[in-house]
């Protein structure tokens, strides 16, 4: 045979349908057991209201302990709408009997069940609730009769094919009131509600202890009561599936974005740690303001400090949140951590996220929830909260206070740093009677980030980061930095003055050298001119001497004409004839 899944119907109670894998069994009976104030009646009534409002399935509410007027008044405190008070949607039957009623003869519920069957046909009821049936059965004082009437109700429900909810009390020691433990065996689903104190904080818990023919999520789950009624903190899926966006958004101001390699990834989680007073809230407020300036809905959650004081304090450093609150882009919520449990805070934040649908979120400080019901529960809630926010695609910045007196301590009690995508640490640098703020980025997954320690400055223009300034391998901040910068500036001025003086001296020397070079050049030219004149005169003398010598030779006729230099003049010579030859005339 092919297995057939159990037919279920959703309750509409936030979180419970996830825990029960779909809701309550249709046309079967569910037992709600728990002590006073644990939430049984609220769960049952909220389920009827949701069935009538969401699926148009009328129901019947049989009240054995409270009057219908009291139940309606209690329901009016929740934002459930008109069906909670409409007789056509939910019919209330007053089955409350006074302890002073005297039983005469054998008692059974046949008459009441006949009335209920008629009303079922009249309004077409699909649901029925027997609230506090144990109160009625206690009046029977007959164990056999009690069991018989419980089974009569079970058979009547099976015959009428109604989805039923039965509530019964549990004593403070865990025992069923009136020893009605046998009812757990006759129903198909059992849900246990509990209210207890841990570390002085009231905790509400829910656990499914039995579910015939169906799987369910085992374990205890936190229960919270808000304007929408009951909410159950359902567990997250076993497999982590977060979208990895490559879109960058600003962390608040440009220099911090630069240190982060371009800003934060959309949908990522950022942790800002530091001891009190290191400006964690200031950086978170700047992130929220930047998100609102981009036109993105933002949720600012603060613990143990009011929203108005936070907005006022941030305005002193140029961060203006009030206009965005007025416009509706920013929703600010402040809660007292010690008033409710950590799980209740988680459910409250889940409700706020559903209402506001933010794209960016701030939680300041998340470490405060460690005061609500113990450190172990707070750690689990912190992890669930960050995973839940990332599942919604919300970019979240959370702050956490470091414990201890060591300003360099970076570890957090909640161990959020292991799951945060980016970790920014703020610390103090105390030297020479000054306390200065320092910022460093410990990690930033998926991106380059600066490894520098930068001084964080606050003024009316908002937070900013100073340039890195080192002296002798040490980062200087505050007055020491100012003094060192002033000293360096004086040295620089003196160096510039010395340079200008030396440059002037060199220019004078250069001009003097140029002048001497020019004089030498002139003297060189004069000497060259003298040399040229001397050479010309010498050539002239040589030519003149040669000419004179030639002339003398001619005149003296010392040489024959053929021995005379070419071009020699022959004029002025005379011949004498006689003898064998001619002789010069002396």
What is the domain partition of the chain in residue ranges? 8-232, 248-481, 520-568
- For the stretch 138-185, pLDDT in tens is 666 666 777 777 788 888 888 888 899 999 887 655 555 445 567 788
Q: How many residues does the chain have?
A: 586
Indicate left, alpha or beta for 98 from its phi (over 0: left) and psi (-120 to 50: alpha): beta
- Name the one residue in this structure whose structure tokens are 């024959």: 560
Band (583; pLDDT cuts 50, 70, 90): very low
Long-range contacts (CB closer than 8 Å, 24 or more residues apart) made by 422-425? 422/260, 422/264, 422/268, 422/269, 422/270, 422/271, 422/449, 423/270, 423/271, 423/273, 424/270, 424/271, 424/272, 424/273, 424/283, 425/272, 425/273, 425/274
Domain 8-232: give its CATH superfamily: P-loop containing nucleotide triphosphate hydrolases (3.40.50.300)
Neighbours of 444 (CB within 10 A): 21
Closest Cα partner for 64 from 117, 138, 157?
138
Fill in the DSSP letter of residue 170: B
Peptide bond into 365 cis (omega under 30): yes
Q: How far is Cα 388 from Cα 18, in angstroms, rounded to an integer?
A: 14
Q: How far is Cα 133 from Cα 152, in angstroms, rounded to an integer?
A: 13
Band (407; pLDDT cuts 50, 70, 90): very low
Check if the beta carbon of residue 145 is closer than 8 Å to that of residue 116: no
- For the stretch 429-486, pLDDT in tens is 777 667 788 888 988 888 888 888 888 888 888 888 887 665 555 565 666 666 666 7
Percent of the chain whose predicted confidence (pLDDT) is above 70: 78
Burial class from Cβ neighbours inside 10 Å (0-12, 13-18, 19+) for residue 461 reads exposed
Q: How far is Cα 402 from Cα 412, in angstroms, rounded to an integer?
A: 6
| CATH number for region 248-481 | 3.40.50.300
Torsions phi, psi for 436 (to 5 deg): -120, 150
Torsions phi, psi for 270 (to 5 deg): -125, 130
- For the stretch 262-315, pLDDT in tens is 899 998 889 998 888 888 899 999 999 999 999 999 999 988 788 899 999 999
Check if the beta carbon of residue 422 is closer than 8 Å to that of residue 405: no
pLDDT given at position 293 = 93
Record the tokens describing residue 533, joined without a space.
């004149």
Q: Rounding to the nearest 10 degrees, give the CA dihedral for residues 335, 336, 339, 340.
A: 40
- For the stretch 361-374, pLDDT in tens is 998 888 777 766 56
Q: Do domains 8-232 and 248-481 have the same CATH topology?
A: yes
Q: How far is Cα 264 from Cα 256, in angstroms, rounded to an integer?
A: 10
Cα angle: 368, vertex 373, 375; to 5 degrees: 65
Q: What is the 3 state secondary structure string of 348-380?
A: HHHHHHHHHCCCEEEEECHHHHHHCCCHHHHHH
Fill in the DSSP letter of residue 415: -
The model's pTM is 0.64
* Segment of 174-183, 232-241, 338-347, 509-518 carrying the highest mean pLDDT: 509-518
């Amino acid at each position: 045979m092919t297995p057939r899944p159990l037919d279920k119907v959703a309750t509409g109670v936030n979180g419970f349908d996830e825990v029960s894998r779909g809701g309550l069994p249709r046309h079967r009976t569910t037992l709600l057991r728990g002590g006073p104030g644990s939430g049984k009646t609220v769960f049952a009534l909220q389920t009827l209201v949701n069935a009538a409002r969401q699926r148009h399935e009328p129901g019947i509410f049989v009240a054995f302990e409270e009057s219908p007027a009291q139940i309606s008044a209690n329901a009016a405190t929740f934002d459930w709408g008109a069906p909670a008070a409409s007789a056509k949607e939910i019919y209330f039957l007053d089955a409350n009997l006074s302890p002073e009623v005297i039983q005469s003869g054998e008692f059974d519920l046949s008459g009441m069940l006949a009335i209920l069957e008629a009303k079922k046909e009249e309004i077409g009821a699909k649901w029925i609730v027997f609230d506090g049936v144990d109160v009625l059965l206690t009046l029977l004082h007959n164990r056999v009769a009690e069991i018989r009437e419980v089974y009569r109700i079970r058979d009547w429900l099976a015959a009428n094919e109604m989805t039923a909810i039965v509530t019964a009390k549990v004593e403070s020691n865990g025992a069923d009131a009136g020893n009605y433990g046998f009812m757990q065996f006759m129903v198909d689903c059992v849900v246990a509600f509990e209210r207890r104190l841990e570390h002085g904080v009231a905790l509400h818990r829910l656990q499914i202890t039995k579910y015939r023919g169906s799987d369910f999520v085992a374990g205890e789950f936190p229960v919270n009561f808000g304007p929408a009624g009951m909410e159950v903190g359902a567990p997250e899926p076993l497999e982590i599936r977060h979208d990895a966006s490559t879109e960058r958004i600003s962390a608040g101001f440009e220099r911090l974005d630069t240190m982060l390699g371009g800003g934060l990834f959309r949908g990522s989680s950022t942790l800002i740690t530091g001891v009190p007073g290191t400006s964690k809230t200031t950086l978170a407020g700047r992130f929220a303001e930047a998100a609102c300036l981009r036109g993105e809905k933002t949720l600012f959650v603060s613990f143990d400090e009011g929203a108005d004081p936070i907005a006022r304090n941030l305005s002193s450093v140029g961060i203006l949140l009030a206009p965005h609150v007025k416009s509706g882009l920013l929703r600010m919520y402040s809660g007292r951590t010690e008033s409710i449990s950590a799980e209740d805070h988680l459910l409250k934040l889940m409700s706020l996220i559903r209402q506001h649908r933010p794209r960016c979120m701030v939680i300041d400080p998340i470490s405060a929830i460690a005061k609500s019901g113990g450190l172990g529960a707070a750690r689990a809630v912190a992890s669930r909260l960050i995973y839940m926010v990332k599942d919604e695609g919300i970019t979240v910045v959370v702050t956490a206070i470091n414990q201890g007196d060591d300003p360099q301590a970076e570890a957090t009690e909640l161990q959020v740093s292991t799951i945060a995508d980016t970790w920014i640490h703020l610390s103090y640098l105390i030297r020479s009677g000054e306390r200065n703020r320092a910022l460093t980025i410990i990690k930033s997954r998926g991106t380059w980030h600066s490894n520098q320690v930068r001084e964080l400055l606050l003024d009316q223009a908002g937070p900013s980061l100073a340039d890195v300034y080192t002296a002798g391998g040490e980062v200087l901040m505050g007055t020491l930095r100012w003094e060192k910068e002033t000293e360096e500036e004086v040295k620089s001025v003196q160096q510039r003055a010395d340079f200008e003086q030396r440059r002037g001296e060199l220019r004078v020397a250069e001009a003097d050298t140029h002048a001497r070079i020019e004089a030498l050049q002139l003297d060189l030219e004069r000497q060259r001119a003298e040399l040229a004149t001397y050479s010309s005169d010498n050539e002239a003398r040589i030519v003149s001497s040669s000419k004179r010598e030639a002339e003398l030779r001619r005149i003296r006729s010392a040489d024959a004409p053929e021995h005379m230099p070419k071009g020699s003049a022959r004029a002025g010579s005379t011949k004498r004839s006689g003898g064998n030859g001619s002789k010069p005339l002396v």
